[in-house]
Amino acid sequence: MVRPDQAKFDQFSAVFRAVDAQLQEFAATNHLKYLQDVKRQPNRELHTNGNPLLMFGIRLDGCWYNMNYHEGLLYSVGATGVVWPTRILTTKSDERQVRQVPLLEHQPFDVIHENLGRLLEEWKQLVTSWHVPALASSDDVFEADGWQVTKKRERIKQAEADGNPTPLSKHL
């Protein structure tokens, strides 16, 4: 069965076809996973495997569902790292360390397309320069190097307390 919003979604996602081959080639060359339309959002992502998880992402600025498509839409490109410290892996906590760096923000897709090779190389240099302190147990070490502690369960509970429950709230 086709979703009622599928044609609209496909229209927003179609712009990424212009960069898919280049992203797939970079992913294959650098042993990355190539993902498209993650979490039903028009985007493209490249991921490393393991811990830390390093990501390159191109995303539409805003929510496609609440917008009308036009050629002047803006997109952003960023680098993200996620680390689950060893002490977290052994306790099955949802706490993790996250680091995000914008590479290009709020630009028409043509600008991203024209600069994609440079952006991919910039991402590669950036994430290889990140100091991941041997999956240390000290949050202070991570935060001093630009990593931030996130706790999904606490964010969900806070959203629920603020009157904005998420679909995950029922699983707590």
Residue with token string 């969900």? 156
Task: Tell me, yes or no, whether 67 lies in a domain.
Answer: yes
What pLDDT, on the 0 to 100 scale, is given for residue 155? 57
Averaged pLDDT for residues 122-134 = 83
54 vs 140, which has greater pLDDT?
A: 54
Query: Would you say residue 92 has pLDDT above 60?
Result: no
pLDDT grade for 83, boundaries at 50, 70 and 90: confident
Quote the number of domains for the chain. 1
Task: Tell me, yes or no, whether 165 lies in a domain.
Answer: no
pLDDT grade for 166, boundaries at 50, 70 and 90: very low
What is the Cα–Cα distance from 100 to 119, expressed in whole angstroms? 15
Which percentage of the chain shows pLDDT scores above 70? 70
Task: Tell me, yes or no, whether 37 lies in a domain.
Answer: yes
Task: Tell me, yes or no, whether 145 lies in a domain.
Answer: yes
Q: Are 151 and 168 in contact (CB under 8 A)?
A: no
Length of the chain: 172
Query: Would you say residue 168 has pLDDT above 50?
Result: no
Task: Tell me, yes or no, whether 141 lies in a domain.
Answer: yes
What is the Cα–Cα distance from 3 to 149, expressed in whole angstroms? 37
Query: Would you say residue 170 has pLDDT above 50?
Result: no
What pLDDT, on the 0 to 100 scale, is given for residue 165? 52
109 vs 85, which has greater pLDDT?
A: 109
Task: Tell me, yes or no, whether 162 lies in a domain.
Answer: no
SS3 of residue 150 by DSSP: strand
Q: Which structural domain range is residue 29 located in? A: 6-81+97-150
Please give the mean pLDDT across all residues of the chain: 82
DSSP 43-88: EEEEE--SSSEEEEEEEESS-GGGS---TT-EEEEEEEEEE--HHH
pLDDT in tens, 4-14: 999 999 999 99
57 vs 167, which has greater pLDDT?
A: 57
Residue 162's Cβ-side half-sphere holds a number of Cα atoms within 13 Å equal to 8
Q: What is the pTM of this model?
A: 0.77
DSSP 87-127: HHHHHT-SEEEEEEEEEEEEEEHHHHHHHHHHHHHHHHHHH
Task: Tell me, yes or no, whether 124 lies in a domain.
Answer: yes
Task: Tell me, yes or no, whether 59 lies in a domain.
Answer: yes
